A and B are shown apart, each in its own frame.
Chain A
């Protein structure tokens, strides 16, 4: 493998890994903020206990999201320096703004929230976790604006003197049509993941025999909150995903064709079918058997049941003609790896629907007022597995979605402007990239084990009991008491 392949693998590994923590951070910060607000509104100690319980799990998750995020920012310059030179004029701004607006907000107010229990006024303390959540949204907005530029460059011109892309319209970059559908899609998916996270740990305790019966009503509340969040958010994911399909067909037709492994054009009026699964060659060029929904691909791509959909072969011919002239854009093959785009697209949707179904089933079981029988029903072994799945499925669906988005963009680094192979650092050796990839992979592997261990440990321990001396209530604490939280 050369430096290019290694740099691509490193980017894939570190980004997929980083993104396990991101949607949980976005979704869980919202739900912890909601729990804390519920405690302040109702003064029901169950909400305070849940706030602290999920708050701890949140900080365990946040720590790794934070440290792996630094790598992401440095990586562009380290492994992709020619890319950084070429688009820095446009791409750097959202990154810098993300740090200035979002990272400072998140880190400062998370510090205030973690260490501020009983030390800063209660309302400010609750505001702190809301501001953390707002920080995560701002962060998502700016980094997605940067990514959307790579999918669909807008608001720029190519400067022939400097040979690079330069900004002409920043507002256009921030309101890229791809961005406007991607941001809601990503945020809704993150809320789905956060909801799944809350639901999973609540289901664990509803299912577990060792959890005190008196705590079950509390976890029931959390389970309902989580399940409703999953359901509402998944509707948002579906609607925004549908809109995304249309935009993608317009700006990245190859990606849409590759999502279905559609090689030949389907003309207007015929209606392209969508296959749920196909058995055949991996790249879908020959099929033995397929379960298809008629006309669905036409609907996904164009919004009408018989709209025309361009096939891979035709787009390949078109791109060869358009892009062969420049060193930055010329490659032999403009097709992404079709088996990857085909299957990640289906896994993304399938796993998301499965998570939705579990959340709906839990809500059905927990409908009405709480009674022993409900919790007994959730005590079946099946629900233990369902709880684990409702945590993992949205996470994996996010991952497959990003794999589809980024690998479906290939061979482009910036669609239509720069191929991936021309963006890599020219002076960086394969040995250097191999070293860094190996180091990060090993380190991340160890950290994953540590993190999962801590989540299980804290998750199993459950919410702390309320001590009798009322020292638990932040309102009754004195400034000189021992801190509620220290390192």
Chain B
């Protein structure tokens, strides 16, 4: 196999990893205000705040590592296909800026939310997490639709389409699809990783979100593959849809593990089908097929690709091992009683009041 093909596949794998993993924590982030409501029935009902902290603690150890899949995908595109990296990142300038701002808000919101014991503070941080999860969940769908369908790229490999050109109807449909898929995936993650009423509420919500995402996904993938698909991409997209439906059926029967596996597979295969439809291009030009960026003409030298292949083959398994171990270490469901009743930084609040004692 050509090294360029191997790297096309590896980059596809990195995006698959990013969407499957960070997809659920984007979903959880967006669902904070929806699932984090006070419980009204049952004995010892949990407050919305406890439920939010259950959700956040469920993704707490993982989200940062999940985001590294994106950084690695970006770095790998830079290393293996510098022209792809240059055209994509300079061309999709404003969407990427929005995604970056989203990721900053979200990261800060997640890390700083518990650092100050005040409802106003938490509300602000929650809003940052919600917005910061929403923006990338929507815009990656938009971006990938554009990549697969082709955008105006001139003979010098420069994107010449402007910002609004990226927001066509199919692209927006793609954005809504990734958005709802990640919401479903996130709801199922909450159902899988928490306990109590929250778990049941999340499962019920996942079914409704899942139905919407299934309709959108079939429509979106259908349009994409009619326009640029191959037999293989159709086949994989079909299995993706089946995985989603299977996952939702499992959710309806209370099998959270299978349900989450279903959305995981659906997102993985839907992403794979996009890359299958794309190959051998990496960024087709809508102006002239001769101007398209391909795995050949956008790539690094054989030397660089060879070195990178060795590095990837040696270190990716190591990374997968410890990542898997961290998921294993935090395999327990997060229950309401795991959430400390006192705020863990109560001392700090006293500290604030003691400020006057300073000389």
Q: Give residues of chain A (452-487) contacting chain B, Cβ–Cβ below 8 Å.
A: 454, 457-458, 460-462, 464-465, 479-487
B304: chain A residues at CB < 8 Å are: 89-90, 92-93, 166-167, 170
Q: Give residues of chain B (301-353) contacting chain A, Cβ–Cβ below 8 Å.
A: 301, 303-304, 307-308, 311-312, 315-316, 319, 322-323, 326, 329-330, 332, 337-341, 344-345, 347-348, 350-352
A99 touches B358 (CB 8 A): no
Binary B-proximity of A59-84 (CB < 8 A = 1, otherwise 0): 11011101110110110111101101
Known: A84-B86, A115-B61, A486-B339. A432 touches B78 (CB 8 A): no
Known: A70-B103, A92-B79. A103 touches B348 (CB 8 A): no
Q: Name the distance in Å between A70's Cβ and chain B's nearest Cβ.
A: 6
A167 touches B301 (CB 8 A): yes
In the complex, whether B120 has a CB less than 8 A from a CB of chain A is no
In the complex, whether B232 has a CB less than 8 A from a CB of chain A is no
A487 touches B89 (CB 8 A): no
B90: chain A residues at CB < 8 Å are: 77-79, 81, 425, 427-428
Q: Give residues of chain B (250-281) contacting chain A, Cβ–Cβ below 8 Å.
A: none
Q: Compute the total of residue contacts between A and B using a CB distance below 8 Å.
A: 271
B326 touches A68 (CB 8 A): no
B338 touches A73 (CB 8 A): no
In the assembled complex, the Cα of A460 lies from the Cα of B104 at a distance in Å of 27
In the complex, whether B355 has a CB less than 8 A from a CB of chain A is yes
Per DSSP, are chain B's interface residues mostly helix, strand or loop, or mixed? Answer: helix
A66 touches B107 (CB 8 A): yes
Closest chain A residue to B312 by CB distance?
Answer: A100
In the assembled complex, the Cα of A99 lies from the Cα of B100 at a distance in Å of 17
B85 touches A84 (CB 8 A): yes
B311: chain A residues at CB < 8 Å are: 93, 97, 100
Interface size class of B (residues with CB under 8 A): 35 or more
In the complex, whether A396 has a CB less than 8 A from a CB of chain B is no
A454 touches B115 (CB 8 A): yes
Known: A119-B330, A166-B304, A167-B301. A100 touches B319 (CB 8 A): yes
B45: chain A residues at CB < 8 Å are: none
B351 touches A461 (CB 8 A): yes
B82: chain A residues at CB < 8 Å are: 84-85, 87-89, 92, 164
In the complex, whether B62 has a CB less than 8 A from a CB of chain A is yes
In the complex, whether A269 has a CB less than 8 A from a CB of chain B is no
In the assembled complex, the Cα of A63 lies from the Cα of B106 at a distance in Å of 10
A486 touches B104 (CB 8 A): no
Q: Give residues of chain A (383-409) contacting chain B, Cβ–Cβ below 8 Å.
A: none
A107 touches B65 (CB 8 A): yes
Q: Name the distance in Å between A231's Cβ and chain B's nearest Cβ.
A: 29
In the complex, whether A324 has a CB less than 8 A from a CB of chain B is no
Closest chain B residue to A79 by CB distance?
Answer: B90
B104 touches A92 (CB 8 A): no
- Residue of A62, A91, A487 with most partner-chain B CB within 10 A: A487
Interface-lining segment among A243-251, A311-319, A354-362, A435-443: A435-443
Q: Name the distance in Å between A455's Cβ and chain B's nearest Cβ.
A: 10
A460: chain B residues at CB < 8 Å are: 351-352, 354-355, 358
In the complex, whether B294 has a CB less than 8 A from a CB of chain A is no
Q: Give residues of chain B (52-66) contacting chain A, Cβ–Cβ below 8 Å.
A: 53, 56-57, 60-62, 64-65
In the assembled complex, the Cα of A439 lies from the Cα of B61 at a distance in Å of 29
B348 touches A81 (CB 8 A): no
In the complex, whether B36 has a CB less than 8 A from a CB of chain A is no
Q: Give residues of chain B (72-116) contacting chain A, Cβ–Cβ below 8 Å.
A: 72, 74-80, 82-83, 85-91, 93-94, 96-97, 100-101, 103-104, 107-108, 110-116
Known: A67-B108, A439-B101. A92 touches B75 (CB 8 A): yes
In the complex, whether A221 has a CB less than 8 A from a CB of chain B is no
Known: A108-B323, A486-B338. A77 touches B89 (CB 8 A): yes
Closest chain A residue to B55 by CB distance?
Answer: A487
Closest chain A residue to B332 by CB distance?
Answer: A479
In the assembled complex, the Cα of A426 lies from the Cα of B155 at a distance in Å of 13
In the assembled complex, the Cα of A423 lies from the Cα of B53 at a distance in Å of 46
Q: Name the distance in Å between B160's Cβ and chain A's nearest Cβ.
A: 7
In the assembled complex, the Cα of A479 lies from the Cα of B77 at a distance in Å of 42
In the assembled complex, the Cα of A435 lies from the Cα of B67 at a distance in Å of 25
Q: Which of B60, B83, B322 contacts A115 (CB 8 A)?
A: B60
Q: Name the distance in Å between A44's Cβ and chain B's nearest Cβ.
A: 20
Closest chain A residue to B89 by CB distance?
Answer: A77
A79: chain B residues at CB < 8 Å are: 90
B100: chain A residues at CB < 8 Å are: 70-71, 74
A115: chain B residues at CB < 8 Å are: 57, 60-61, 330
B116: chain A residues at CB < 8 Å are: 454, 457
A73 touches B86 (CB 8 A): no
Closest chain B residue to A68 by CB distance?
Answer: B104
Q: Name the distance in Å between B44's Cβ and chain A's nearest Cβ.
A: 15
Closest chain B residue to A86 by CB distance?
Answer: B82
Q: Give residues of chain A (197-250) contacting chain B, Cβ–Cβ below 8 Å.
A: 208-210
Q: Which of B75, B160, B308, B316 contacts A73 (CB 8 A)?
A: B75
In the complex, whether A260 has a CB less than 8 A from a CB of chain B is no
Q: Which of B71, B110, B337, B354 contacts A70 (CB 8 A)?
A: B71
In the complex, whether B357 has a CB less than 8 A from a CB of chain A is yes
In the assembled complex, the Cα of A8 lies from the Cα of B315 at a distance in Å of 35
Q: Which of A82, A116, A159 contacts B86 (CB 8 A)?
A: A82
B96 touches A89 (CB 8 A): no
Q: Give residues of chain B (31-70) contacting chain A, Cβ–Cβ below 8 Å.
A: 53, 56-57, 60-62, 64-65, 67-68, 70
Known: A70-B100, A96-B76, A432-B94. A483 touches B323 (CB 8 A): no
A101 touches B340 (CB 8 A): no
In the complex, whether B158 has a CB less than 8 A from a CB of chain A is yes
Q: Which of A81, A88, A107, A119 contacts B300 (CB 8 A)?
A: A88
Closest 8 CB pairs of A and B: A88-B82, A77-B89, A461-B351, A92-B79, A96-B75, A92-B78, A63-B111, A111-B61
22 A-B pairs (CB sep. < 8 Å):
A67-B107, A76-B85, A81-B90, A84-B89, A85-B82, A88-B300, A90-B304, A92-B77, A92-B304, A97-B315, A104-B319, A111-B65, A167-B307, A210-B358, A427-B91, A427-B160, A447-B108, A460-B354, A460-B358, A482-B338, A486-B57, A487-B56
